A = this chain, B = another copy of it.
Amino acid sequence: MYISQSFIPILKNNPSEAKIKSHQLMLRVGMIKQSSAGIYSWLPLGFKVMKKIEKIVREEQNKIGAQEILMPTIQSSEIWKESGRYEDYGEEMLRIKDRQNREMLYGPTNEELVTDIFRASVKSYKSLPQLLYHIQWKFRDEIRPRFGIMRCREFYMKDAYSFDISDDEALFSYNKFFISYLKTFKRLDLTAIPMAADTGPIGGNLSHEFIILAETGESKIYTDKRIFDLNSEGTNLEKKALENLRKKYEEFYSVTDEKFDKDEFEKKVSENNRLKTKGIEVGHIFYFGDKYSKPMGASVDLSGGKKDFVKMGSYGIGVSRLVGAIIEAKYDEQNEIMKWPISVAPYDVGIIPMINKNDNSALEKANKINFELKKNNIDALIDDTDENFSSKIKKMNLIGAPYQIIIGKQTDGDLIEFKEIGKETQKLDITEITNKIKELKEKN
């Protein structure tokens, strides 16, 4: 793709209204545009990143046997009255009256709606477990939306729901999402730590927030450093293995603000392992048993002839928020260099040909290289404008494709100036370049 034809409106300077680096970068390189307070449009560059994140989230949900559905954004107030949350939810719920004066709302979450779907469809324990998820826009009418898409009003979220016959089975489902989340964030090149958390308006008594460290984060966290060395490698999807994985993580003290207990922290964590810092919540999982199924009458026939309410959990990942979270983790604002993980990068490579008024030879070389890259499914952005070299590099550093190819006066023969963004230039031929990028893409 040529930059001149793309819809990537880049600003010369950092926008003054943006206080944190993800918001700055996203406005600066035209990933988003605010349309009203806390509501954004996603322009092509931002859209591409979000779609790649969505795809990874979806693949990891499918791997644990969750089935995708799609619930509407507008819900009836009736089901929220059944669960008892309609009055409780407060002003963050966007309440709407339709032309017939019916009370509707823009869903901030979907426990009620999915319970309504379940109770109409599933009658027997034989059909359990059921894991259902959807990826849909939500709305929370924040009083003070800020930090761009990190704390906005309309946001894109994956929310999943599990339905089981017993607490024991339900915890098995919970643990499937636990590992699925670890794997999802790893593919996004993020170290997200599961932390014991409060359940808030969702309810229940078991909950983990998945948090990545960031100075600009809004969650205060207290943790044993050694938890960062853990991973889920080698754990399969069997019940016992998943139990052990969660135990392994829970051995280390790791909580958010609301769960923090100073004495416990100091008792359980030796001084040099203590970490008090801030983080960004990127996922949140809950187990709440029959909190919704009981008032809403979602029961199944048991094998003995009795009935029981199903045991439910819910599992969220902030898909649009993750775009910002990755920038917070990866953007070097001092040097104005963004480096997207290749799994979600808007482009794999940026090609920067030096173009002079009367000399198009560098652009022609760029086209030839792009032709080879395309054959290998490598997606490149070519800066075909006649700006000077340093402003081109600056622009490409902000866009953040993980590799750059520079075609200058010195470029002749088969060797091409190639570099990993922010690192030293190497001279490689096109086959070496495509192999290098393909290899990295396959690993991610």
User: A-side interface residues toward B, CB under 8 Å?
Assistant: 4-7, 9, 30, 33, 35-37, 39-44, 47, 50, 65, 67-76, 78, 91-92, 94, 96, 98-100, 102, 104, 106, 113, 116-117, 120-122, 126-127, 130, 132, 137, 139, 141, 143, 153-154
Can you offer 19 A-B residue contacts whose CB atoms are under 8 A? A5-B127, A7-B132, A9-B120, A33-B121, A35-B71, A35-B76, A35-B116, A36-B75, A36-B78, A37-B100, A39-B74, A44-B67, A47-B68, A47-B70, A50-B70, A74-B106, A74-B139, A94-B99, A99-B141
With known contacts A41-B117, A75-B36, A96–B96 Cβ distance under 8 A: yes
Taking a contact as CB atoms under 8 Å apart, the answer to whether A113 and B72 are in contact is no
| Given A7-B130, A47-B69, A68-B47: A96 and B94 interface contact (C-beta under 8 Å) | yes
User: Contact at A4–B127, with CB atoms within 8 Å?
Assistant: yes
By the criterion CB–CB under 8 Å, are B72 and A154 in contact? yes
| Contact call B41/A143, Cβ cutoff below 8 A | no
Contact present for A73 and B120 (CB under 8 Å): no
CB-nearest residue of chain B relative to A40? B72
Q: How far is the CA of A439 from the CA of B120 in the complex (A)?
A: 40
Among B4, B6, B75, B154, the residue within 8 A (CB) of A73 is B154
CB contacts (< 8 Å) of A116 on chain B: these are: 35
Cα(A65)–Cα(B7), bound, Å: 11
- A72 contact from B35, B68, B126, Cβ within 8 A: B35
4 other A-B residue contacts (CB within 8 Å) besides A39-B72, A47-B68, A73-B137 = A5-B65, A41-B71, A44-B68, A94-B96
Known A76-B36, A154-B72; judge A99-B41 contact (CB<8 A): no
**Do A104 and B67 form a contact, CB below 8 Å, given A41-B117, A74-B139?**
no
Top 5 A-B pairs, shortest CB-CB distance: A9-B121, A36-B76, A42-B70, A41-B71, A91-B99
User: From A33, which residue of chain B is reached at the shortest CB distance?
Assistant: B117
